[in-house]
Amino acid sequence: LSLADGARVVALRSRAIAAELAGHGGMASLAASVSDVRRLLDGITEPVTVAAVNGPATTVVSGTPEGLDALRARCERDGVRYRRIPVDYASHSGQVDALADRILADLAPIRAGRAQVPFFSTVTGDCRKPYAPSPLRVRGRSWSAARTRC
d(CA 146, CA 149): 5
98 and 150 together in one domain:
no
Same domain? For 102 and 143 the reply is no
pTM for the whole structure: 0.73
User: Cα–Cα distance between 25 and 36 in angstroms, integer?
Assistant: 22
- Convert the pLDDT of each residue in 33-82 to its tens digit: 999 999 999 999 899 999 999 999 999 999 999 999 999 999 999 999 99
Residues 103 and 116 in one domain: no
Please tell me whether residues 96 and 130 are part of one structural domain.
no
Q: Indicate whether 62 and 105 sit together in one domain.
A: yes
pLDDT tens across 113-122, in order?
Answer: 776 777 777 6
Q: 129 is in which domain, residue-wise?
A: 112-150
Indicate if 70 and 12 belong to the same structural domain.
Answer: yes
Q: Are residues 20 and 85 in the same domain?
A: yes
- The tally of domains found in the chain comes to 2
Q: Are 27 and 51 in the same domain?
A: yes
